Structure 1
Amino acid sequence: MPLTPTQAEDAGPFTEKMQTVVGIATSGRPTILAELVRQLVHQTVKPDRIIISYAKPEDIAAIPQTLRDMASLEFVTGNIGLPAQRNVILDHLEDEDIILFFDDDFFPHPTYIARMSEAFRDNPNILGATGQVLADGAQGPGLLVENANHLNAKANVAMVLKIEDAFNTYGCNMAFRYAAIKCLGIRFDERLPLYAWYEDIDFSRSLLPYGRVVKVNSAQGVHLGNKTGKGSGIRLGYSQVINCIYLAQKGTYPWTSAIKSAGRHLIINSLKSLKPEYYIDRKGRLLGNLIGLGDLFRNRITPERAATLHSKKRAS
């Protein structure tokens, strides 16, 4: 039975030491993942559990045995695709206070978990939160681990205290109050295949009727935006159109935002395909946009179709 807003606030009393789980869905980035795990054990507030949901054995092959022997580190596997892999993580949770989802190329500041835990502890109406991204390589050719280390080292997190309401959480770094997820039965939508598109919007905005979704500006980190492990441009382009409309039909994304988003990406990909960036398959994305529009005109709103599309281009 759905929670009322009052029940959501009281969905589970927080202990002074918040029980935290870091969940990482990974695919195709073994070296970066290994470095992320190494850094997580140096958080000022260490996670009680780190659950890695992997697609293939080689995804976790670079993690050294010394880290594998940690009692807090766990490995799970199941269906491939970001939403499916995150759902496997949810299946393995117990009664922890907070589940933090990190992309396998998001490097949190050493105080990230501490600041996020404080926000949930001090604000019982917060059900979902995202941190401040100091730099996002997804907006360009990508960043290196060395870039993330430098930016995190010089960040002045002590001076940033503001918590503000957010439209949604950003998928590379998200935290949720697990009691609310459990009571509401919220899951990542596995109809959004592969690396998905807007699965973070869908998941986090499902909580909005029952509590707050916020940005915790003092919880900081760097998103590498690494291009390995990603799907083809045509698949992403298709999702850029169809996923918006699908989520609007579900009610987790406003129709005005959905139409603007799909139209914006169509225009950007059309213009930039004339002189594309070397690290983006703009022509593939544009083709995917057009296929998505064709399906939209046929009233064929099937986001899972993205997994069946193929492109000769490299990862977008």
Structure 2
Amino acid sequence: MSEAGGELTVAVVIASLGRPDLIDRMIERMARQTVLPAVLLFSVTAAADLPEGFAETDRVKAVFGRKGLPRQRNAALDWLGGGYDIVVFFDDDYVPSLLSVEKVAGFFRAHADVVGATGLVLADGINTSGIGAEEAMRIVAEHDDRGDFPCEIREDRIGLYGCNMAYRGAAIGPTRFDERLALYGWQEDIDFSMALRPRGRLVMTPAFAGVHQGVKHGRTPGLRLGYSQVINPVYLAAKGTMPIGFAARLMIRNILANHLKLLRPEPWVDRRGRAKGNWLGLFDAVRGRLTPERIEEL
């Protein structure tokens, strides 16, 4: 657990599939941190997911398992075995500040009542065509140069944003991501966060920051995502890890967006596929068939 001198041990977990270029960049990014993570763990499905020449070291490791974000994150948690004070989950297309590990540790030292925190997202390309690597690194570099990392809680959250979220290892314990939320695991971050909420506060803080590029290659096809946009909130509301009102607003917002934009869809979004998936999800929900794992068959 804590290293000599009382410093918190920080494990950084990256689940990735078919994007070795992003893993290569993350290795370089983590090697330049002001405080190195105790371990940088990549959870992948095969050697092909890793960059050519990937080699494990004392601090850089890889674990192999079945495809799917919840499954891959669970494989990482099983590998970590509860031996680290803080577990940080970054998406593979997230560009963290070079002070991220240092600031994550400092934040959790300062806020003993917090079990999970999501950092400041300086820019997010998930709902646009995406943010290029050079632009993302420029934004982060400018933020790092300003040195603006207030170790404060900006707000309490229902759940955390999966592209960058950190938890106390002791709070995680045996809790795992729900593997019924297959493949992309849409809303798995909210589900996992809510499972830990009885153990302490879930918050947003500007103490650590980065840019989420929203890289489009390797993402879930429109049909599958559209199905998840309906069935996952209904499933999680029934499970009790998503407030019913939150689930309803999330579902309605996405259904409306997909249908209103059918005539003039964004080039990077399969609105027709998402709309079709929405209807498949609605039909299953009405019949009481709450099967988020069905996307593996679509």
Question: Shorter-chain-normalised TM-score: which range?
Answer: over 0.9
| Corresponding residue number in structure 1 for 2:20 | 30
Deviation at 1:199, TM superposition (A): 0.2
Q: Separation in 2 of the partners of 1:76 and 1:297?
A: 39
Q: Separation in 1 of the partners of 2:129 and 2:46?
A: 26
1:50 aligns with 2:40: yes
1:230 aligns with 2:219: yes
Q: Separation in 2 of the partners of 1:173 and 1:126?
A: 16
Deviation at 1:69, TM superposition (A): 4.7
Deviations 1:74-127 (A, max 9, x none): 111111100000000000114210010111111100111111111111111111
| Corresponding residue number in structure 1 for 2:131 | 143
1:280 aligns with 2:275: no
- Percent identity over the alignment is 43
What is the TM-score normalised by the length of structure 1?
0.89
| Corresponding residue number in structure 1 for 2:159 | 168
**What secondary structure sits across from 1:129 in the alignment?**
strand
| Corresponding residue number in structure 1 for 2:282 | 293
Q: Separation in 1 of the partners of 2:56 and 2:9?
A: 21
The alpha-carbon distance between structure 1 residues 159 and 201, as it changes in their structure 2 partners (threshold 3 A), is: closer
The equivalences for 1:49-198 within 5 A come to: 49-62=39-52, 64-65=53-54, 68-94=55-81, 95-155=83-143, 156-158=146-148, 160-163=150-153, 164-182=155-173, 185-198=174-187
**What secondary structure sits across from 2:8 in the alignment?**
coil
| Corresponding residue number in structure 2 for 1:267 | 256
1:239 aligns with 2:228: yes
1:257 aligns with 2:246: yes
Q: Separation in 2 of the partners of 1:167 and 1:198?
A: 12
Contiguous gaps of at least 5 residues in structure 2: none
**What secondary structure sits across from 1:253 in the alignment?**
coil
Q: Separation in 1 of the partners of 2:190 and 2:276?
A: 24
Deviation at 1:16, TM superposition (A): 2.3
What is the TM-score normalised by the length of structure 2?
0.95
The alpha-carbon distance between structure 1 residues 236 and 278, as it changes in their structure 2 partners (threshold 3 A), is: same
Contiguous gaps of at least 5 residues in structure 1: 1-11, 310-316
Q: Separation in 1 of the partners of 2:147 and 2:204?
A: 14
Runs of 4+ in 1 over 6 A off after TM superposition: 12-15
Deviation at 1:56, TM superposition (A): 2.4
Assess if the C-alpha contact under 8 Å between 1:170 and 1:200 holds in 2. yes
Q: Separation in 1 of the partners of 2:201 and 2:113?
A: 6
Assess if the C-alpha contact under 8 Å between 2:140 and 2:211 holds in 1. yes
Deviation at 1:158, TM superposition (A): 2.6
Q: Separation in 2 of the partners of 1:227 and 1:269?
A: 17
Q: Separation in 2 of the partners of 1:251 and 1:157?
A: 40
Deviation at 1:159, TM superposition (A): 5.3
Q: Separation in 1 of the partners of 2:164 and 2:41?
A: 15
| Amino acid across the alignment from 1:84 | R
Deviations 1:291-310 (A, max 9, x none): 1001111111100001111x
Deviation at 1:162, TM superposition (A): 2.8
> Bigger shift: 160-169 or 292-301?
160-169
Deviation at 1:187, TM superposition (A): 0.5
| Amino acid across the alignment from 2:297 | T
| Corresponding residue number in structure 1 for 2:6 | 16
The alpha-carbon distance between structure 1 residues 226 and 274, as it changes in their structure 2 partners (threshold 3 A), is: same
**What secondary structure sits across from 2:131 in the alignment?**
coil
